[in-house]
Amino acid sequence: MGVFSVLRRRWQRLAVASVAFVLIAFSILSHRGDELFAQQHYPAAQHEFSSDTPLIWKHINSSTVRGGAFYIPPEWLSPSTPRPTTMIEAARLVSQLTNIKNTTHLIDNTEIPLVAHQTWKNTHVDTWPDLIRNSVERWMQTVMDTPMAYFLWNDDGIMEFLEEYEPEFIDHFSALPRMVEKSDIFRILVCKYIGGVYGDVDTRPIRSPATWIEKSDLKPWRDNATNILYNSTKPVRAIFGIEADCPPDTDTYWRMGYTNPVQLTQWALASSPGHPALTWFMQKLYSIIDEVASHHGGNLTTPQAYEELDYLEPLIFTGPDAITVSLRSWLEDRIGLRWNALTGLHDGGKSKLADDIMILPITGFSPGRGVYGNMGSKPITHHDARLQHLAQGSWKGFDLRVEFGKVCRTFFGLCRDWPKS
Ligand SMILES: *[C@@H]1O[C@H](CO)[C@@H](O)[C@H](O)[C@H]1NC(C)=O
Ligand SMILES: *[C@@H]1O[C@H](CO)[C@@H](O)[C@H](O)[C@H]1NC(C)=O
Ligand SMILES: *[C@@H]1O[C@H](CO)[C@@H](O)[C@H](O)[C@H]1NC(C)=O
Ligand SMILES: *[C@@H]1O[C@H](CO)[C@@H](O)[C@H](O)[C@H]1NC(C)=O
Ligand SMILES: *[C@@H]1O[C@H](CO)[C@@H](O)[C@H](O)[C@H]1NC(C)=O
C-alpha cells in the first residue's frame, strides 16, 4: 500500500470521526438550548405558582430578611425566645438550639444538627426556573415534616455569613472569578460553622435527612483487597455520598468526566459544626489562593491575578475533585484508609463509616442513574436512596468546549485534560 493511500484512509477516518463529533455535539447543544430556554424564559404564572409551591411562597418569597430566608420549627422555640431578625441572628440561635450538649435536634445516629442550607441568587421565587422552584418546595415540605431548621442564603446573605464567621477569607472569596466556586466554598463553610445538611437547589430529598443514617449503616465493613476491618464506633460527624464509582484500573472514570475512580459528590453533604476535615479543605484552598496572590505582590485584585485564578478549573479547585482529594488525604492520614476500598462495586453498595465520616454508596445521593454509566446506582424508589440530583448543572450555563470535551472523552477516549466545567 502506498503512502498516499495510507494517508487518505487516515484522513477519511478522521473526517468521519469529525462529522460524527459535530453531529453529536450539535444534538446535545440544541437539546440543552431548549431546556434552558424553557426554564428561564417562561416563569410560571403567579396563580399557578402559589398553588403548586405554597411553602416556598410563604416561607421564602415573603421573607423580609435581607440575606435570604430562614425557618425555625416553632416547637423548638419557647414563647420568650426573641425572634431573630437577620440571617446571622437566626444562625446563632439555631447553633444554640442544635448544640450537641443541649438537644435532640440531630440527624438520627449522628451528631449532625437538623438544619438544611441552600443558596440561590435571590428569594424572588417567581423568577426561579421551574425545576428549582419545585425542588426547593420539596425541601421545604421535608423541613416542615421532619421538623428541622432551614436557611436559604442569597448573595448578600453569603457575604454577611463570611463577615460573621470567617472575615479573613473575604478578600480571597471576592477575588474568585466564578459564582460556582463561591457556591462550592460556601457549602463547606456553612457546614463548618453552623453544621447540618447542604443541598443544591436542584436536588430533592427522598427521605427526611433525620432518617438518613440507620443502625445498619454503622456496621463494620472490610476492605477485601487488604482484609482490613473498619469498625469505627465513633459518632457520625459528617456524611458524604459517592458520585462516581468505577473500577480503578480502567479508563472508565476519566472517559465519563471524573478525575477519580471513586469520587464524592458535593451537591449534598452534611457535617457537625467544626469538623476538622472541612478545616483541612479550607487550609488547602487558602494555600492555593495565597500562592496565586504571592505571584502578584499579594494583591488578588490585579487583572493578572484574576486571570490566573480564572485559569484554575473549578472542578479541581473547589469542586468534587477538591472535596475527594481533601477527604482522601484526611482519611489516609488519620486512619490509613485505602480510598478505593470505599467502592460499592463488590458489596452491593454498603454504607461505610471511616473514622467519624459516613460515606454513602452511589445510591445515597445519586440514585436512578441510567443504564449507561450506572455504576451501581439503584432506582430512586430503593431504600438506600436519600436524595436525588436533577439538573446535572444544565441550568448553570453552557460551554461549547466543555460539551465537545465530554463527547470526545465518551466516544473517542480522547481529550482527557480538556476543561470539564
Ligand atoms: C414574590 O415577591 C415579589 C417581590 O419580592 C412580589 O413582587 C411577588 O408578587 C411575590 N410573589 C407572589 C406570588 O406573591
Ligand atoms: C442551650 O440552649 C439554650 C437555649 O435554649 C442556650 O441559651 C444555651 O446557650 C445552650 N447551651 C449551649 C451549650 O449551647
Ligand atoms: C472483592 O470481593 C468481590 C466479591 O466478593 C470480588 O469480585 C472482588 O474481586 C474482590 N476484590 C478484591 C480486590 O479482592
Ligand atoms: C476493631 O477491629 C480491631 C482489629 O482489626 C480490633 O482489635 C478491635 O477490638 C475492634 N474494635 C471494635 C470496637 O470492635
Ligand atoms: C491591587 O491592584 C489593583 C488593580 O491593579 C489596585 O487598584 C489596588 O490598589 C491594588 N491594591 C493594593 C493593596 O496594592
Do 216 and 113 sit in the same domain of this protein?
yes
Question: Would you give the distance in Å from CA 356 to the centre of its chain?
Answer: 20
Confidence of residue 40 (pLDDT cuts 50, 70, 90): very low
Evaluated on CA atoms 382, 384, 387, 393, the torsion sign reads: negative
Do 178 and 81 sit in the same domain of this protein?
yes
Please say whether the beta carbons of 413 and 251 come within 8 A: yes
Give the residue-averaged pLDDT of 135-141: 97
Do 84 and 183 sit in the same domain of this protein?
yes
For residue 21, is pLDDT > 60?
no
Q: Where are the alpha helices (DSSP H) in 312-357?
A: 314-317, 320-335
CATH number for the domain spanning 175: value is: 3.90.550
Do 210 and 251 sit in the same domain of this protein?
yes
Domain assignment present for residue 202? The answer is yes
Mutate to test the pocket of ligand 5, among 302, 304, 306, 307 (most ligand atoms within 8 A of CB): 302
Domain assignment present for residue 73? The answer is yes
136: nearest Cα among 154, 118, 155: 118
Mutate to test the pocket of ligand 5, among 174, 294, 299, 306 (most ligand atoms within 8 A of CB): 299
* DSSP 8-class letter at 123: S
Domain assignment present for residue 100? The answer is yes
Domain assignment present for residue 50? The answer is yes
Q: Environment class of residue 209 by beta-carbon count within 10 Å: exposed (0-12), middle (13-18) or buried (19+)? A: buried
What type of residue sits at position 295? H
Pairing mode, strands 221-223 and 228-230:
antiparallel
Identify the nearest ligand to the CA of 95 by its number.
Answer: 2
Query: For residue 86, what are the CA distances in angstroms to 79, 92, 160?
Result: 19, 10, 10
Using the mean position of ligand 3's atoms as its centre, give its distance from the Cα of residue 246 in Å.
14
Pairing mode, strands 203-205 and 196-199:
unpaired
Domain assignment present for residue 368? The answer is yes
| Residue in the structure block whose three cell numbers are 472575615 | 167
Using a 6 Å cutoff on CB, does residue 51 contact ligand 4?
no
Using a 6 Å cutoff on CB, does residue 381 contact ligand 4?
no
C-alpha cell at 393: 448543572
Report pLDDT for 17. Answer: 58
Please say whether the beta carbons of 5 and 11 come within 8 A: no
Mutate to test the pocket of ligand 2, among 100, 102, 106 (most ligand atoms within 8 A of CB): 102
Do 188 and 276 sit in the same domain of this protein?
yes
Please say whether the beta carbons of 267 and 389 come within 8 A: yes
**Total residues belonging to the chain:** 421
Using the mean position of ligand 5's atoms as its centre, give its distance from the Cα of residue 307 in Å.
15
Give the residue-averaged pLDDT of 172-194: 96
Mutate to test the pocket of ligand 3, among 338, 339, 346 (most ligand atoms within 8 A of CB): 346
Report pLDDT for 278. Answer: 98
Q: What range does the domain containing 408 cover?
A: 1-41+400-421
Number of structural domains found in the chain: 2
Using DSSP, state whether 59 is helix, strand or coil. Answer: helix
Report pLDDT for 51. Answer: 76
For residue range 249-294, list pLDDT tens digits in order: 888 888 888 999 999 999 999 999 999 999 999 999 999 999 999 9
Give the residue-averaged pLDDT of 285-309: 95
Using DSSP, state whether 42 is helix, strand or coil. Answer: coil
Question: Would you give the distance in Å from CA 306 to the centre of its chain?
Answer: 25
Please say whether the beta carbons of 310 and 302 come within 8 A: no
Do 23 and 172 sit in the same domain of this protein?
no
Identify the nearest ligand to the CA of 350 by its number.
Answer: 3
Give the residue-averaged pLDDT of 310-332: 92
Domain assignment present for residue 93? The answer is yes
**Cα torsion through 124, 76, 365, 322, rounded to 10:** 80
Residue 297's CB is within 10 A of a number of other CB atoms, namely 9
* DSSP 8-class letter at 111: S
Domain assignment present for residue 395? The answer is no
For residue 31, is pLDDT > 70?
no
Report pLDDT for 237. Answer: 98
For residue 41, is pLDDT > 70?
no
Query: For residue 184, what are the CA distances in angstroms to 152, 159, 233?
Result: 15, 14, 30
Give the residue-averaged pLDDT of 14-19: 56
For residue 46, is pLDDT > 60?
no
Which residue minimizes the CA distance to atom 4 of ligand 5?
Answer: 302
Using the mean position of ligand 2's atoms as its centre, give its distance from the Cα of residue 100 in Å.
10
Cα 211 to Cα 108: distance, rounded to the nearest angstrom = 6
Give the residue-averaged pLDDT of 230-247: 97
Give the residue-averaged pLDDT of 219-243: 97
Domain assignment present for residue 12? The answer is yes
Query: For residue 185, what are the CA distances in angstroms to 178, 196, 250, 301, 398?
Result: 11, 15, 31, 19, 22
- Find all residues with CB under 8 Å of 314, minimum gap 6, and list them: 178, 180, 181, 184, 421
Do 19 and 143 sit in the same domain of this protein?
no
Q: Please, what is the average pLDDT of the chain? A: 88
* DSSP 8-class letter at 258: -
Using a 6 Å cutoff on CB, does residue 302 contact ligand 5?
yes
For residue range 103-121, list pLDDT tens digits in order: 889 999 999 999 999 999 9
Evaluated on CA atoms 133, 206, 58, 154, the torsion sign reads: negative
Do 416 and 352 sit in the same domain of this protein?
no
Confidence of residue 42 (pLDDT cuts 50, 70, 90): very low
Do 417 and 284 sit in the same domain of this protein?
no
Comparing 55-64, 166-175, 386-395, which segment has the lowest mean pLDDT? 386-395
Report pLDDT for 48. Answer: 58
For residue range 144-176, list pLDDT tens digits in order: 999 999 999 999 999 999 999 999 999 999 999
Comparing 2-6, 231-235, 398-402, which segment has the lowest mean pLDDT? 2-6
Question: Ligand 2 pocket by C-beta < 6 Å: which residues?
Answer: 96-97, 99, 101-102
Do 186 and 334 sit in the same domain of this protein?
yes
Strands (E), 250-292: 262-264, 268-271
Do 54 and 27 sit in the same domain of this protein?
no
Confidence of residue 126 (pLDDT cuts 50, 70, 90): very high
The residues that bridge with 230 in the sheet, in sequence order, are 221
Q: Which atom of ligand 1 is nearest to the CA of 125?
A: 1
Residue 365's CB is within 10 A of a number of other CB atoms, namely 28
Do 71 and 31 sit in the same domain of this protein?
no
